[in-house]
Chain A
Amino acid sequence: MSKGLFEAIRISGSGLSGQRVKMDVVARNLANAETTRTEDGTPYRRERAVFREILERRVQAQRERLDPANDEFANGPTRTHPNHLPGLTALQLADREGVRTEAEVAPDASEFRVIYDPGHPDADEDGYVLMPNVDVVTEMVDLITASRAYEANISAVQAAKDMFNQALKI
């Protein structure tokens, strides 16, 4: 269902979802900036939101969602004769939905910070403590970036809505 301004709104919507994921990640990182022990015994490892365009994933999801047994159009209209024209399958329709963006959460592989704090319960024999690889300043910058990008996407949606409403006044 790609329809001009509607498609623009949907793409902006995927951007909004992505920025929200990014804000969630920042919040989690900030909350765990001092967490030295997690379930598996290591310090908290920073997470990061990675954006990418989605096309195949949605089609894949659509493929799983459509159950050929229940959906008569999952495989397109039945052709009992080779001269019958082929219809579009629901999958092909989904395929044309256009490109959006999606944020994925991935662990940050950088090194843990090491501080000297012999009194810390998680300190090793030499008094060193492994701290999460979270830098609060970087997280704050990410938070502002995500917030501004979210606003930008909202503006894009608003602009598309205004254009639509203007067109209705023709």
Chain B
Amino acid sequence: MIRHGLFEAAHLGDLKQALAVYANRHRVVSDNIANVESAGYAAREYRFEEYLAGARLRLQGARTNPAHLALGRRELADTPGDVRPTGDDHDNGINNVDIDKEMTDLATNDLSYRLATRLLSMKYQTLRSAIRGRST
């Protein structure tokens, strides 16, 4: 009852999933950085946003047949991320890890995580205010 009425009604799911995605991505990027000098290592990436087909469309296609793919917006919760080799043709002399790309990915991922935690904490703050009946 509390789970449904309080947390699910507050649309916290998107942000929670985002945090999971960023945490996974951090692990993958750290892997790449740790293996920058490992012979035979292939750079990997965590793909998630790519699977949200039509991510820029606000339209939602009606599905009259279960064989239809979800057209337009795909639900975030239905979308699993996965780890794949990047297939980059970068050559650092040992493998295809591009340390500068990994470091910038690390930075952007860190910023995404910060933004998501900030938004999530603001939402919890609003919930807390609503429960207490005064601004906290």
- What residues of chain A have their CB less than 8 Å away from a CB belonging to chain B? 1, 5-6, 9-10, 12-14, 16-17, 20, 24, 61, 64-65, 72-73, 76-78, 80, 84-85, 87-88, 90, 93, 157, 161, 164-165, 168
Could you show 26 A-B contacts with beta carbons less than 8 Å apart? Answer: A1-B49, A9-B104, A10-B108, A14-B100, A20-B100, A24-B93, A61-B89, A73-B51, A77-B53, A77-B61, A77-B70, A84-B61, A84-B71, A85-B57, A85-B72, A87-B54, A87-B71, A87-B72, A88-B53, A88-B54, A88-B57, A93-B50, A157-B104, A161-B111, A164-B114, A165-B114
Kindly state the separation between the CA atoms of A168 and B89 in the bound complex, as whole angstroms.
36
Q: Which residue of B lies closest to A65 (CB)?
A: B87
Give every chain B residue within 8 A of A85 (Cβ-Cβ).
57, 59, 61, 71-72
Chain B min CB distance to A153 (Å): 8
B107 touches A9 (CB 8 A): yes
Total A-B contacts with CB atoms under 8 angstroms apart? 88
A87 touches B53 (CB 8 A): yes
Chain A min CB distance to B74 (Å): 9
Chain B min CB distance to A98 (Å): 13
Instruction: Take A65-B87, A77-B69, A77-B70 as given contacts and tell me if A157 and B107 are in contact as well, using a CB distance cutoff of 8 Å.
Output: yes
Contact of B14 with A by CB under 8 A = no
Instruction: Take A1-B49, A17-B90, A165-B114 as given contacts and tell me if A77 and B54 are in contact as well, using a CB distance cutoff of 8 Å.
Output: yes
Kindly state the separation between the CA atoms of A77 and B65 in the bound complex, as whole angstroms.
14
Give every chain A residue within 8 A of B50 (Cβ-Cβ).
73, 90, 93
B54 touches A9 (CB 8 A): no
Give every chain A residue within 8 A of B105 (Cβ-Cβ).
13
Chain A min CB distance to B91 (Å): 9
Chain A min CB distance to B107 (Å): 6
Contact of B68 with A by CB under 8 A = yes
- What residues of chain B have their CB less than 8 Å away from a CB belonging to chain A? 49-51, 53-57, 59, 61, 65, 67-72, 86-90, 93, 98-101, 103-105, 107-108, 111-112, 114-115, 118
Give every chain A residue within 8 A of B51 (Cβ-Cβ).
73
Give every chain B residue within 8 A of A12 (Cβ-Cβ).
104
Kindly state the separation between the CA atoms of A9 and B93 in the bound complex, as whole angstroms.
25
Give every chain A residue within 8 A of B86 (Cβ-Cβ).
65
A13 touches B61 (CB 8 A): no
Kindly state the separation between the CA atoms of A64 and B55 in the bound complex, as whole angstroms.
22
Kindly state the separation between the CA atoms of A87 and B64 in the bound complex, as whole angstroms.
17
Q: Which residue of A lies closest to B101 (CB)?
A: A13
Kindly state the separation between the CA atoms of A53 and B105 in the bound complex, as whole angstroms.
20
B70 touches A168 (CB 8 A): no
Kindly state the separation between the CA atoms of A124 and B88 in the bound complex, as whole angstroms.
44
Kindly state the separation between the CA atoms of A118 and B70 in the bound complex, as whole angstroms.
77
Chain B min CB distance to A7 (Å): 9
